[in-house]
Structure 1
Amino acid sequence: MLNKYPLWKTLMVIIIVAIGALYASPNLYGEDPAVQISGKRGVEVTAATLDKVKAELNQKQIGFASIALENGQLLARFADTENQLKARDMLDSALGDNYSVALNLVPDTPEWLASLGGVPMKLGLDLSGGVSFLMEVDMNAVITKAQTEAVSDFRSQLRQEKIRYRSVKKAGDSVAIQLRNEEDLSKADSFLKRTYRDFLFVDDSSTLTITAMMTEEKLKETREYALQQNITIIRNRVNELGVAEPLVQRQGQKHIVIELPGVQDTAKAKEILNATATIEFRMVDQEGDLNNALNGRVPASSQLLYDRDGRPSLLKKRIMLTGDHIVDANSGFDENGRSQVNITLDSPGGSKFSNATKNNIGKPMATVFIEYKATDRKNAEGNTIFEKKEEIISIATIQARLGKNFRITGSGSPSEAHNLALLLRAGALIAPIQIVEERTVGPSLGKENIELGFTAIMAGFALVFLFMMFWYRAFGIVANLALGANLVLIVGVMSLIPGATLTLPGMAGIVLTVGMAVDANVLIFERIREELRSGKTVQQSIHHGYDSAFSTILDANITTLIAALILFAVGTGPIKGFAVTLSIGIVTSMFTSIVGTRAIVNAVWGGKRLDKLPI
């Protein structure tokens, strides 16, 4: 029989639309102002922290909606932003430097819906409000650091080859290596040129000096690596702010653009982003007297440092390895069930660490966390001056000669080991960075953009609705039902896709989709009218109308989808947002306008002896 869907196909349409409606529904519940509390550098947020926060809030008579421990972080919800701000200020002071207290907005989705994976759409900066930063990487510091490492490498390699030298030191943009005699000069020149192919070496026999300069390719590679690593680290850092979908991308040769939608606490964001952190491994000075060091008599080759609990240790100044060479780190347990951190180095780091530890087996080694925090002071060039802070995060005994893969024990609880692994894996910024531009979009402006975008979508929907009702009568109602289902599916899919963010241009894409969604039905309905005028029966007209128009609809939508995918591939920011909603809208509109409307038409008019259609 013509125009009768099997039951399974009708049920499939109903189930797909129902699932879309289910996952679109979290967007109806709004968001709560909240304060997010997380531990710094291995500090664990526990039930005791929760009890302390509750006690502090009750003591200060600050009302809260709920407090819960979620994913190792504490989330306190409030009824309004006034109590949220009061709580942030009070808790920041009460909890001290071991905890990060940040403002946030969290979805008010019911627990049963959240347990099914239902979350609202992520909103872009232009809709939710937030802050945007343009940050500049200090490329001079990058090159200086690379040259300093080259000095250390040249010294160790020349010693290993038993080539005597007087000095190896930085000299402006190059490294000057002064040898003892012409024979050593010749040996050093031959060895260095063979070993370090990314350096240019020029020897001067009159002064017994070799000048080493990085090649242009090496300089470019060093700068590129610094920029890419900083981008990766910043992405991890903004997680401390609780930002759902931050945008972190490069701009030009030395700039990074960071957009933090929904962030209210710009001061906290600047503090975290401005900090430059790195990791160093150093030997503990067992020969020096710790008591003398505490009294101000620190050996020239050592340094007095403290851990986060204030315990002092005397460390050698010589750096065995920096965190730049760490390519992976993860936490686990040793054979005795104690927490440990497994570390993997790159090839140069593995070779360097092997040489540094072969004569130190059985001796304690410290992992030092170094952070550069921006101050209010400026240097002569107008750049921000950074303050250096050093802290011991782990001291462990070297059990064997360490190479590319090794482990650190004695890191405390499993949570501390996990946090240390994260820190080692993603804590080393190559060079200081500073904010050179800041833009803030207020929540009120974001709310206004949402209202204007929603009004545009509803206006477009209403006009299309009236036109279809007037021109196609009952079939117009079918098209309008499909259009409504299409909007629901777009919102549901956007809510389900991780990383999909709705922006103002994205809302423009939805408005465009509203018009395009009924375009397919216009083609189908006009074809049905033609078939009826040519004398075909009602059922034949419906059948041929859908079948004949399908290829035209498919071709038109595929070409538009190709254009949308190209926009997504080559575009950035707003263009990507437009391309995402347009692509999703094309796919969902094809489903609703062809499969969805046909299911309704078949259910109402299919398989019946009819003389005319309300079209």
Structure 2
Amino acid sequence: MLQIPLWKRFLIWGICALAVLFAIPNAFYGRVESHNDALAAVAVQGTAPTPQQQAAIESWPSWMPSGLMNLGLDLRGGAHLLAEVQLSDVYADRIDGLWPEMRDALRAARAEVGSIRRAPSEPGVLRIQISNPDGIARAVQIARGLAQPVQSVTGTGQNDLDVRGEGDTIVIQLSEAERTATDQRTLQQSLEIIRRRVDEVGTREPTIQRQGDDRILIEVPGIGSAAELKSLIGTTAQLTFNTVVNRTTDANTPVEPGQELLESEDEPGVYYVVQATPVVSGEQLVDAQPAFDQNNRPAVNFRFNGSGGRIFGDYTAQNIGRPFAIVLDERVISAPVINSAIPGGSGIITGNFTVEQSTELAVLLRAGALPAGLEFLEERTIGPELGQDSIDAGRTASIVAMIAVVVFMVACYGWFGMMANIALAVNVIAIFAVLSLIGATLTLPGIAGIVLTMGMAVDANVLIFERVREELRAGRNAVRALDEGFQKALSAIIDANITTFLTAVIMFAVGSGPVRGFAVTLGIGIIVSMFTSIFVARSLIATWYAWRRPKTITV
């Protein structure tokens, strides 16, 4: 067991050296963060760096790793919001938008149904009263003819409208399958819009995720207050469809009054000159879904409301063969060519899309404005001072835990305890290196996970050393006792670590927020401690034994 091949020793110490290398940037957090921000800004702007950016880039060697652990909200300070999406608003808006289309369809059958009028009803329900009760069956048939298939996997074969007759009144509302599909689309749109709005201010590692059926958790480190974050999220993204005047690669192209020069979202270095006044706006877009064209290529289906459809139909009839720009937040996300007139307010956008790109474009088209209101159920602001206090408290706890473990191991196991402490130091460094490599976010509960890992890391060495003591008491020589100690303690070490690792996995899977932060560092710490406690500690002991060649050992 102590005869470790030379290549394996090089591998063990090579991994330790890499861990130190990748963990070093966290010791110079501010400098490396400025270096990374400057590189990202230069990549986005596509021009030569400014003197300040160049100085920030040169403040950290280019050959050194520059990955950092992201500091969570409780360490960096920032804002926390829990918002509830008002899904019922979407149902009401959708039903209200159906009235013009239903009215026109029923008017075409006036001879059978008589005159029509919209009757009062609760939100999300459309009631249409006809003057000829005998024509109610025909009216229901016409209304059902305007229903569309549900655009979801679970709603396959079902229509989006429930239509029934009650005396001389047609009652129309969204079907259950359509409500479920609408909920999914609405939350997806809300998440996308919020993420785009937050990303615009350059915040680092925001947490924007769905919670439950209708809630969204938003945590943004580094932002001033919860009120500022609410104002940012409440800003409506502007989606417009504009006439394209010219396409260019010159960012300084002059434009005439009433025109704008906008950068392309998916074509770096390409700019479009567009008419400032849009043809139609995102408020008139009812829906957009990924689809396939007649050649089975990925595309996007879209649909406007009644007024938007008429305007867009007239525009496309007059501009066949010309491109039009889809503009979101002052950037052209797509500029398809009009192949034919698009009457009725429904059309298809084709291009060199992949399935993923068509899905993303559909989401962006729907993400022109928040699809539903947000009610903020919970809001908190964590100041930078409180975040620094958390860092200081976590650092103090880690140092105290480290000192306590070091003293205990040396007091109980002497020189062998010191070697276990060296392996423990490598373990902590390796945890920071892994967190930096995967871009994980370190939180205060995450620091608690690291502190717990320290105790678990030396626990494996305690099992090994106690087993060595037993072998020595049984009369084994030094080499045999060390070999037996590592071999016979291995199964107990693996069992203990696997059960703890499974607990960390379960906490990560079903937990959220602080629980997941704790689970991440605990899980990484367990995996790393298996390496350091068994391989690094054994390599240290083997090197020491080969150097000193003691006749007897004392543990």
TM-score range, shorter chain: 0.7 to 0.9
Q: Aligned partners of 1:560, 1:318: CA distance in 2, in Å? A: 51
Q: Aligned partners of 1:391, 1:112: CA distance in 2, in Å? A: 35
Match 2:217 to one of 257, 268, 284: 257
Higher strand share: 1
Deviation at 1:139? 3.4
Q: Tell me the residue number matched to 2:349.
A: 406
* SS state at 2:53 partner: strand
Q: Aligned partners of 2:446, 2:199: CA distance in 1, in Å? A: 24
Match 1:603 to one of 536, 543, 548: 543
Q: Aligned partners of 2:548, 2:335: CA distance in 1, in Å? A: 83
Aligned-residue identity in percent: 36
Q: Does 1:66 align with 2:6?
A: no
* Structure 1 residues 397 and 593: alpha-carbon distance in aligned structure 2, compared to 1, 3 A threshold: closer
Q: Aligned partners of 1:358, 1:529: CA distance in 2, in Å? A: 90
Deviation at 1:158? 6.5
Deviations 1:16-70 (A, max 9, x none): 1111111111101122697989xxxxxx94649x7xxx7xxxxxxxxxx8136xx
Q: Tell me the residue number matched to 2:355.
A: none
Deviations 1:122-165 (A, max 9, x none): 01111111122233434343222221343355467779999988
Alignment of 1:48-197 (within 5 A): 66-67=52-53, 109-113=60-64, 116=65, 118-151=66-99, 154=102, 171-172=120-121, 173=123, 174-178=125-129, 185-193=136-144, 195=147, 197=159
Q: Tell me the residue number matched to 1:344.
A: 299
Residue 466 of structure 2 aligns with an amino acid whose one-letter code is E
Q: Tell me the residue number matched to 1:299.
A: none
Deviation at 1:456? 0.7
Residue 344 of structure 1 aligns with an amino acid whose one-letter code is A
* SS state at 1:260 partner: strand
Q: Does 1:236 align with 2:196?
A: yes
Q: Aligned partners of 2:426, 2:363: CA distance in 1, in Å? A: 44
Q: Aligned partners of 1:107, 1:563: CA distance in 2, in Å? A: 44
* SS state at 1:325 partner: strand
Match 1:540 to one of 476, 480, 500: 480
* SS state at 1:276 partner: coil
Q: Does 1:464 align with 2:405?
A: yes
Contact kept in structure 2, 1:276 and 1:432, CA below 8 Å = no
* Structure 1 residues 272 and 542: alpha-carbon distance in aligned structure 2, compared to 1, 3 A threshold: same
* SS state at 1:29 partner: helix
Contact kept in structure 2, 1:282 and 1:318, CA below 8 Å = no
Task: Show structure 1 runs of 5+ residues with no match.
Answer: 38-43, 55-64, 69-75, 78-105, 285-305, 330-341, 372-389, 410-418
Match 2:425 to one of 484, 493, 498: 484
Q: Tell me the residue number matched to 1:374.
A: none
Deviations 1:429-465 (A, max 9, x none): 3124365654221112111111110111111111111
Q: Aligned partners of 2:139, 2:540: CA distance in 1, in Å? A: 84
Q: Aligned partners of 2:310, 2:482: CA distance in 1, in Å? A: 78
Deviation at 1:241? 2.0
Higher helix share: 2
Q: Tell me the residue number matched to 1:28.
A: 27
Match 1:571 to one of 500, 511, 517: 511
* Structure 1 residues 608 and 198: alpha-carbon distance in aligned structure 2, compared to 1, 3 A threshold: same
Q: Tell me the residue number matched to 2:154.
A: none
Match 2:164 to one of 202, 219, 225: 202
Contact kept in structure 2, 1:307 and 1:392, CA below 8 Å = no
Q: So what's the TM-score if we normalise by structure 1? A: 0.68
Contact kept in structure 1, 2:79 and 2:221, CA below 8 Å = yes
Q: Does 1:213 align with 2:173?
A: yes
Deviation at 1:185? 3.8
Q: Aligned partners of 2:453, 2:433: CA distance in 1, in Å? A: 15
Q: Aligned partners of 1:563, 1:121: CA distance in 2, in Å? A: 23
* SS state at 1:30 partner: helix
Q: Aligned partners of 1:237, 1:202: CA distance in 2, in Å? A: 42
Q: Tell me the residue number matched to 2:41.
A: none
Deviation at 1:546? 0.4
Q: Tell me the residue number matched to 1:291.
A: none
Alignment of 1:386-425 (within 5 A): 398-400=338-340, 405-407=348-350, 424=365
Q: Tell me the residue number matched to 1:290.
A: none
Q: Aligned partners of 2:452, 2:375: CA distance in 1, in Å? A: 40
* Structure 1 residues 353 and 23: alpha-carbon distance in aligned structure 2, compared to 1, 3 A threshold: farther
Q: Aligned partners of 1:314, 1:198: CA distance in 2, in Å? A: 31
Which moved further from structure 2: 253-262 or 155-164? 155-164
Q: Tell me the residue number matched to 1:87.
A: none
Residue 161 of structure 2 aligns with an amino acid whose one-letter code is F
Q: Aligned partners of 2:538, 2:176: CA distance in 1, in Å? A: 64
* Structure 1 residues 522 and 614: alpha-carbon distance in aligned structure 2, compared to 1, 3 A threshold: same
Contact kept in structure 2, 1:148 and 1:170, CA below 8 Å = no
* SS state at 2:381 partner: strand
Q: Tell me the residue number matched to 2:443.
A: 503
Deviation at 1:307? 6.2
* SS state at 1:244 partner: coil
* Structure 1 residues 612 and 241: alpha-carbon distance in aligned structure 2, compared to 1, 3 A threshold: same
Residue 435 of structure 2 aligns with an amino acid whose one-letter code is M
Q: Tell me the residue number matched to 2:207.
A: 247
Q: Tell me the residue number matched to 2:254.
A: none
Deviation at 1:355? 13
Q: So what's the TM-score if we normalise by structure 2? A: 0.75
* Structure 1 residues 510 and 315: alpha-carbon distance in aligned structure 2, compared to 1, 3 A threshold: closer
Q: Tell me the residue number matched to 1:385.
A: none
Contact kept in structure 2, 1:308 and 1:391, CA below 8 Å = no
Deviation at 1:227? 2.4
Contact kept in structure 2, 1:134 and 1:258, CA below 8 Å = yes
Residue 131 of structure 1 aligns with an amino acid whose one-letter code is A
Q: Aligned partners of 1:474, 1:121: CA distance in 2, in Å? A: 34
Deviations 1:210-247 (A, max 9, x none): 12123455445434432232123322332212222111
* SS state at 1:134 partner: strand
Residue 31 of structure 1 aligns with an amino acid whose one-letter code is G
Q: Aligned partners of 1:281, 1:271: CA distance in 2, in Å? A: 26
* Structure 1 residues 543 and 22: alpha-carbon distance in aligned structure 2, compared to 1, 3 A threshold: same
* Structure 1 residues 179 and 445: alpha-carbon distance in aligned structure 2, compared to 1, 3 A threshold: same
Deviation at 1:317? 9.0
Q: Tell me the residue number matched to 1:89.
A: none
